[in-house]
Structure 1
Amino acid sequence: MYRLSIGVLFVIITTCFCDVDFSDRARNFSIELIHFTQLETNGHVVISPLGIWTLMTGVALGATRDSYKQLIRAFILPRNKDELIEGYKKLTNTVLTSRTKGVSLTSKNYVFLDNDFMVYPQFRHIVQEDFGAIVKVFDFDNPNAAAKKANSYIKKFGSGVVANVLKSEDFAESRMLITNVISFKGLWSSPFNKSETRRQPFYNEDMEKIGEVNMMYQVAPFPFSNYADIKAYILELPYGNDNKYSMLVILPHIHVKLADVYQNFAKVTLKDLQQKLVDDIDIWDLSDVEVQLPRFKISTNVVLNKPLNNMGVFDIFEPDLASFEKVTSEDIFVSAVIHKADIDVTESGTVASGSTIASIQDRTLPPKFTANRPFLYFIIERTTTTVIFGGVYSQPTVY
């Protein structure tokens, strides 16, 4: 029995420097995926829901029977293949096409095949033409050479700054590797002043001090809201010059745990959060907010098998149950879905960041948004509310 290993790498880089109905499918699983992933990482995590969704959509194109049905349900994909492909193209084109000054966003898919592993021509055509993947054949019996060649292609066709995505061990027991590499660089529309950054305490959900952070500070007009339905405060920090990309930072109310906020997302969507911000601007106008946000860096390396199990995806990981009849005549299964991501948040910009503790006063005074306890953050493409990166900040470090 051969194993199909699907490797995933998501890289977020920060430098110093449409309305598309299909987007509902890409964004609606994002919060659930972040929730189950943070359970595997002690609640401190960054992931790319868009990158994972992109990769698993490609996997679904080759799956059949219950393997296909489980992926369709978990990732909210249309059952019709043509509708899936067309919707995928429209959404990714909208999200990834950027003329935003100060923002760079790239995403590329790769399929690496062992030289004696035969895939059906139709599947190869789909991943190349419709999925936009670079397809290359290597000798997996020489894993060191295969990894070197694969990384060379990733660097050549990707952002040019991503290196050593795949390791030799990724090829050792695999027949095929499907990889998505996604990179986001964003400069804040309103950057923080480094001279204002101060070392301050950071607390857990019970307001007990657990460490310190370098807290960035500024006062500027930002969309801000106290959203009672999810028991949290919301702050939106835009990137670039055209409001296409932004970060939503979600801070639970005092004595409200992140788990409770997650539960409230069962009845509230990210679009609802955006609308609440718009409604509050209509009432209060866009006014100054006193923002304190940690400068931080997070790296995540996690196997997503268990989080995907929690979302109802089982069969693709089981040798006796996996069905990939559109890929090959061989018996294959997914050994692991591996997710790697990095996030770097500084005064000039970010890849993903968030944090908050909020105290709101009368609107005649600037409300305070102080990120000194665990919080959620989402980097989104605003017209589709697609989550490009998201995560949880809960373990403070002085960065």
Structure 2
Amino acid sequence: MVDYWKASFLLVSFVLYLANAQNGIETVSSGLDQFALKLLTQTAEAAGDNLNIALSPFTIWTLLTIISEGANKNTLRELENSLGIPAADKSVFRNNFRALSSDLKRNADGVTLDITNAIFTTNEFPLNTTFQAVSQSTYGVDVIPVDFRNSRGAVNTINNYISRATQNRIPNFVNAADVADAAIFMTSALFFKGQWRYRFDSAQTKPETFYNDAGNSIGRVQMMYQSGPFPYTLVSYLNAHAVELPYGNSDKVSMIVIVPRKGVKLLTVLRAIASRPVSELLNTLDRVQKEFSEEEVDVYLPKFKIESELNLNGVLNKMGINEVFNSEKADLLGIFPQYLYLSRVLQKAVIDVDEEGTIAAAAAGASIVYKTTQPKISANKPFAFFIVDKSTRSIIFAGKVSNPNGICDKCTGN
């Protein structure tokens, strides 16, 4: 097979974490959540301590789910197993996915969330009729014809589309090399903007020391501070502190910050999170909110901005997705009347957290610890974060901060 027919599927993403309470959507979000936690853990392990990470598990999961609609045999089985997609009764899954996507999209109460999916395809061969119909009706995909032989024109078309979808946060998603051998180029983009329900006072933001897992000083950050009625708990099976910071006024979207206890490595905590249903953590925080709704918690959180550009092939291989990347074994004949394989999955993600809020272009067995003195959580060492849509209980954006260098401006000083 000549290189021209090598499929090049890339993806753009943004950070966010979701949650779900309805039975149908629950089955979709549970698969998404487990994929998201494993993806963050594997990516963090590959990245090491020096690289901060911003990921949109939702966009990656969505992109691969769309691809699975055109996969067959073992290629399909690997995708279904890794993505948590049921092998049978696809019509039910598709209906539940539509419901999930509908619940997620919003532009009110201080929260904006837009999701956009697209397939850029050559004019020479049409997409499989069934695949195109399912992609458009279930996943809301825009099918856009492009001439990949005119690489400059293809790049401009894709970049303009993604720039609009992310409100100009990701203006240059691809270059000529990314589309040089493409027959199909698929994208999933997400834009999130949320105002804190309780905003941090910028007058309280001060430079503070940031420590590594071993407790050694490794830099300075601009540390925000506030005291408020936030759900907070010590999660025993994670050996970490958790606090929920809500966005807007509707109690539907939150950021969850996970800070390991003294002497515990962040990667150890991430592995523990990935080993249990995420609903355990969410249920614990919900219970804390009901039982201690009037109690104040001191929260120290750095201002940070992370821009990630990642090739996720190796990470997805470790998660069990292999055959779709193999040019000799991949079976994607349900997409296109030519032999294709997935050449690479790339992600660009941006998250910006400050006193006003966040802009991003991506439990049973838990112990509730309440002290007579006011609880305090300080993210002055490596921590993980998730942005949560509580009405759907699913992970949209996730990441970790372990390197203070470059996460904010003017972070030095006394």
Compute the TM-score of the two structures, normalised by the length of structure 1.
0.92
Do 2:230 and 2:289's aligned partners in 1 also have CA atoms closer than 8 Å?
no
Superposition map of 1:86-235 within 5 A: 86-96=95-105, 98=106, 100-155=108-163, 159=167, 162-235=170-243
1:179-227 per-residue CA deviation (whole Å, 9 max, x = no partner) reads 0111111110001011110001000000000111000011111000011
Do 1:202 and 1:210's aligned partners in 2 also have CA atoms closer than 8 Å?
yes
1:8-43 per-residue CA deviation (whole Å, 9 max, x = no partner) reads 011459xxxx42222212112111010111223334
Is the alpha carbon distance of 1:99 and 1:344 closer, same or farther for their aligned partners in structure 2, counting shifts above 3 Å?
closer
- 1:40 — aligned with what? 46
Superposition map of 1:265-344 within 5 A: 265-344=273-352
| d(CA) in 1 for partners of 2:129, 2:228 | 55
- 1:50 — aligned with what? 58
| d(CA) in 2 for partners of 1:230, 1:78 | 29
Do 2:231 and 2:244's aligned partners in 1 also have CA atoms closer than 8 Å?
yes
Is the alpha carbon distance of 1:142 and 1:212 closer, same or farther for their aligned partners in structure 2, counting shifts above 3 Å?
same
- 2:354 — aligned with what? 346
1:214-265 per-residue CA deviation (whole Å, 9 max, x = no partner) reads 0001111100001112101110000001110000001111001122212322
Higher alpha-carbon deviation: 199-208 or 263-272: 263-272
SS of the equivalent of 2:100 reads helix
| d(CA) in 2 for partners of 1:88, 1:362 | 38
Q: CA deviation at 1:362?
A: 6.6
Is the alpha carbon distance of 1:266 and 1:23 closer, same or farther for their aligned partners in structure 2, counting shifts above 3 Å?
closer
Q: CA deviation at 1:363?
A: 2.8
Are 1:24 and 2:30 an aligned pair? yes
1:138-160 per-residue CA deviation (whole Å, 9 max, x = no partner) reads 11111001111223344456646
SS of the equivalent of 1:378 reads strand
**How well do the aligned residues superpose, as a CA RMSD in angstroms?**
2.0
- 2:397 — aligned with what? 389
Q: CA deviation at 1:56?
A: 0.9
- 1:355 — aligned with what? none
Do 1:85 and 1:130's aligned partners in 2 also have CA atoms closer than 8 Å?
yes
| d(CA) in 1 for partners of 2:93, 2:177 | 33
Whose relative contact order is higher, 1 or 2, with alpha carbons under 8 Å and at least 6 apart? Answer: 2
Is the alpha carbon distance of 1:219 and 1:250 closer, same or farther for their aligned partners in structure 2, counting shifts above 3 Å?
same
Do 1:107 and 1:158's aligned partners in 2 also have CA atoms closer than 8 Å?
no
Are 1:10 and 2:21 an aligned pair? no
- 1:85 — aligned with what? 94
Q: Percent identity?
A: 32
Q: CA deviation at 1:106?
A: 0.6
Do 2:13 and 2:189's aligned partners in 1 also have CA atoms closer than 8 Å?
yes
Q: CA deviation at 1:115?
A: 2.2
SS of the equivalent of 2:92 reads helix
Higher alpha-carbon deviation: 322-331 or 149-158: 149-158
1:346-396 per-residue CA deviation (whole Å, 9 max, x = no partner) reads 1100146xxxxxxx9973322111110001100011122211110111000
User: Which residue type is aligned with residue 235 of structure 2?
Assistant: Y
1:53-94 per-residue CA deviation (whole Å, 9 max, x = no partner) reads 111110110111111000000000011332232121111111
Do 2:239 and 2:261's aligned partners in 1 also have CA atoms closer than 8 Å?
yes
| d(CA) in 1 for partners of 2:165, 2:306 | 26
Is the alpha carbon distance of 1:156 and 1:384 closer, same or farther for their aligned partners in structure 2, counting shifts above 3 Å?
closer
| d(CA) in 1 for partners of 2:374, 2:203 | 21
Q: CA deviation at 1:161?
A: 5.7
Is the alpha carbon distance of 1:68 and 1:361 closer, same or farther for their aligned partners in structure 2, counting shifts above 3 Å?
closer
The number of residues matched between the two structures is 387
Higher alpha-carbon deviation: 117-126 or 148-157: 148-157
User: Which residue type is aligned with residue 85 of structure 1?
Assistant: R
Do 2:7 and 2:182's aligned partners in 1 also have CA atoms closer than 8 Å?
yes
Do 1:115 and 1:140's aligned partners in 2 also have CA atoms closer than 8 Å?
no
- 2:247 — aligned with what? 239
SS of the equivalent of 1:51 reads helix
Unaligned 5+ residue runs, structure 1? 353-359
Is the alpha carbon distance of 1:361 and 1:28 closer, same or farther for their aligned partners in structure 2, counting shifts above 3 Å?
closer
SS of the equivalent of 2:47 reads coil
